[in-house]
């Protein structure tokens, strides 16, 4: 009887565990699920550095990426390329891991050639420095003697030509360029991309071209150098997970195997500071880039392009329609199945008042789109027609870097100075609260009655 009873218990346990393992954890990363919408959240309307603060924790470095919540832990990025694991109960840092160029695995034969190129570049740098010194000495002398600018330029031209030749020659050493860490931008840093998790592992990408995978205990599984960004002002696009592939775009759109980090495919397409949107057409996984390319995830095939552009923010999708909102904005209906001859079905085009790059990604709620420009122009549009409902200048100091969030019944719009406005969604412009914190560029993340805000120096847990 005991043998039979134990067998039944084992069988019953297996039945209970099958759905758990069969159902994979939906990716949690950029804007949590990519939408910036938290329908069940009930966060407070008011906060400050002292009001409604459950805890705040000093971060080891500057940061722009927003928190990623998984169970009782929070994962977040910090300079100079560090992943943090934080206990959500008290804000204490559980572990931190930093990726360095010195840790990149390089084959012995590649290392030999790399050392040769680095030595050659060092010699060119010496020569360039000597020419610059001679040029600067001559320029100072000519200026002191009050020589005309035209004559100064004539005498300096040979030096400038030499310097350009040195610079161009250094560019021919492609291996050294690849393995030399690029400069860091003061706003984006290296840690602007938000981490992403599948519930088992944490994946991070940094502005210096490094991508890594960690388990939940902070053990690194792999580290890869993909490439450097081709954009000015640093890299900020976050990695996204689609099945067994991790997608990241520094210059090309690249798919990596999540288990090994090995490159699966690479597609040359225009890059952006925004994060691509992962979705499905029928049973086919696809991504839409901020520059309007539609790409099949399985093999990197370009299915369509020029769907629109959303500047430096990210596309969003609702009921089969992709929205690219910034300047000349587009709503594009996705097909129900992959078709080789598919042409973009443009639902509407609309001009949204904007300036600069448009960092803040929009949200959609109850048939209305909400968008904010760099300089604080808040635009509300009908999602099905593109018709403008209203447009207002928000009482926020520019620039608006954080993306708009919808938590529970309210909209949250923040500026980099640390001010967050709470607005009433709908067809009338109504500010419900104005909250001031430290400066931040990270988007807000909500869970139940809490809101997590990563400022430049701290991580705040806000709640009543």
Q: Is 258 within 8 Å of 198 (Cβ atoms)?
A: yes
**In the predicted model, is pLDDT for residue 116 greater than 90?**
yes
Check residue 297 and give its pLDDT. 97
Query: Per the structure block, which two tokens stand in for 300?
Result: 């990197």
* 282-324: pLDDT as tens digits: 999 999 999 999 999 999 999 999 999 998 999 999 999 999 9
> 202: which strand partners?
197, 214
Query: Pick from 308, 178, 301, 297: which is nearest to 247 by CA?
Result: 297
Place of tokens 């840790």: 103
Query: Pick from 366, 369, 408: which is nearest to 389 by CA?
Result: 369
The SS3 assignment for 406 reads strand
**In the predicted model, is pLDDT for residue 23 greater than 50?**
no
Q: Report residue 403 CA to chain centroid gap.
A: 11
The SS3 assignment for 380 reads strand
Q: Which CATH superfamily is domain 31-102+183-463 in?
A: YVTN repeat-like/Quinoprotein amine dehydrogenase (2.130.10.10)
Per residue, the 3-state secondary structure of 147-173, as one string, reads CCHHHHHHHHHHHHHHHHHHHHHHHCC
The SS3 assignment for 103 reads helix
* 121-151: pLDDT as tens digits: 999 999 999 999 999 999 999 999 999 999 9
C-alpha 195/C-alpha 32 separation (Å) is: 10
Q: Please give the mean pLDDT across all residues of the chain.
A: 92
Of all residues in the chain, what percent are helix, strand and coil, respectively (each to 5)? 20, 35, 45
Q: Strand (E) positions, 289-418?
A: 294-296, 302-304, 316-318, 321-324, 328-333, 345-351, 363-365, 368-372, 377-382, 388-393, 405-407, 410-414
Q: Is 243 within 8 Å of 255 (Cβ atoms)?
A: no
Element (H, E) at 445: strand 445-447
**In the predicted model, is pLDDT for residue 21 greater than 70?**
no
Of 45-59, 336-350, 378-392, least confident by mean pLDDT is: 336-350
- Burial of 268: CB neighbours in 10 Å, binned 0-12, 13-18, 19+: exposed
Instruction: Give me the phi and psi of 11, to 5 degrees please.
Output: -65, -40
Please give the C-alpha separations between residue 16 and each of 11, 21, 200, in angstroms, as whole numbers: 9, 10, 20
Query: Pick from 283, 320, 277: which is nearest to 295 by CA?
Result: 277
Q: Is 44 within 8 Å of 448 (Cβ atoms)?
A: no
C-alpha 355/C-alpha 24 separation (Å) is: 41
Instruction: Give me the phi and psi of 152, to 5 degrees please.
Output: -60, -45
> Mean per-residue pLDDT for 327-342?
89
Looking from the CA of 24 toward its CB, the CA atoms found within 13 Å total 11
Instruction: Give me the phi and psi of 154, to 5 degrees please.
Output: -65, -45
* 153-184: pLDDT as tens digits: 999 999 999 999 999 999 899 999 999 998 88
Q: What share of the chain in percent tops pLDDT 90?
A: 87
Check residue 24 and give its pLDDT. 60
- Burial of 137: CB neighbours in 10 Å, binned 0-12, 13-18, 19+: exposed
The answer, as to whether pTM is greater than 0.85, is yes
Alpha-carbon torsion angle 339, 345, 351, 357, nearest 10: -10
- Burial of 149: CB neighbours in 10 Å, binned 0-12, 13-18, 19+: exposed
Instruction: Give me the phi and psi of 31, to 5 degrees please.
Output: 55, 35
C-alpha 389/C-alpha 337 separation (Å) is: 33
C-alpha 335/C-alpha 303 separation (Å) is: 11
Please give the C-alpha separations between residue 196 and each of 74, 177, 383, in angstroms, as whole numbers: 11, 28, 28
C-alpha 221/C-alpha 200 separation (Å) is: 12
Instruction: Taking the CA atoms of 417, 58, 42 and 312 in sequence, report the sign of the dihedral they define.
Output: positive
């Amino acid at each position: 009887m005991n043998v039979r009873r134990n067998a039944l218990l084992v069988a019953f346990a297996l039945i209970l565990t099958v759905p758990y393992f069969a159902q994979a954890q939906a990716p949690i990363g950029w804007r949590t699920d990519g939408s910036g919408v938290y329908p069940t959240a009930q966060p407070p309307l008011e906060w400050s550095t002292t009001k409604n603060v459950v805890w705040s924790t000093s971060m080891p470095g500057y940061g722009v990426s927003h928190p990623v919540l998984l169970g009782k832990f929070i994962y977040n990025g910090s300079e100079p390329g560090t992943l943090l694991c934080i206990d959500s109960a008290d804000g204490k840092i559980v572990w931190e891991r930093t990726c360095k160029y010195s840790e990149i695995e390089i084959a012995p034969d590649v290392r030999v050639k790399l050392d040769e190129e680095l030595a050659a570049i060092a010699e060119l740098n010496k020569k360039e420095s000597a020419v610059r010194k001679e040029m600067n000495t001559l320029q100072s002398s000519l200026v002191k003697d009050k020589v005309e600018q035209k004559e100064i330029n004539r005498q300096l031209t040979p030096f400038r030509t030499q310097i350009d030749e040195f610079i161009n020659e250094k560019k021919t050493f492609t291996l050294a360029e690849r393995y030399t860490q690029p400069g860091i931008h003061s706003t984006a840093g290296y840690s602007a991309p938000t981490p992403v998790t599948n519930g088992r592992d944490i994946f991070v990408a940094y502005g210096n071209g490094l991508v890594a995978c960690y388990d939940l205990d902070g053990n690194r599984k792999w580290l890869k150098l993909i490439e450097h960004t081709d954009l000015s002002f640093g890299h900020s696009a976050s990695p996204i997970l689609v099945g067994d592939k991790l997608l990241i775009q520094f210059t090309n759109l690249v798919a990596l195997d999540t288990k090994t980090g090995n490159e699966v495919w690479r597609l040359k397409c225009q890059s952006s500071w925004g994060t691509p949107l992962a979705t499905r057409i029928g049973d086919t996984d696809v991504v839409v880039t901020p520059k309007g390319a539609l790409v099949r995830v399985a093999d990197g095939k370009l299915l369509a392009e020029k769907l629109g552009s959303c500047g430096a923010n990210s596309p969003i999708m609702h009921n089969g329609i992709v929205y690219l909102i910034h300047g000349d904005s587009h709503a594009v209906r996705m097909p129900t199945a992959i078709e080789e001859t598919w042409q973009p079905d443009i639902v509407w085009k609309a001009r949204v008042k904007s300036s600069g790059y448009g960092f803040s990604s929009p949200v959609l709620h109850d048939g209305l789109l909400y968008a904010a420009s760099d300089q604080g122009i808040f635009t509300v549009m009908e999602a099905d027609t593109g018709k403008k409902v209203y447009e207002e200048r928000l009482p926020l100091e520019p620039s608006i870097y954080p993306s708009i969030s919808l938590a529970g019944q309210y909209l949250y719009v923040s500026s980099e100075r640390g001010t967050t406005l709470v607005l009433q969604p709908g067809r009338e412009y109504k500010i419900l609260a104005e909250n001031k914190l430290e400066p931040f560029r990270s988007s807000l993340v909500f869970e139940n009655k809490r809101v997590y805000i990563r400022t430049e120096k701290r991580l705040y847990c806000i709640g009543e």
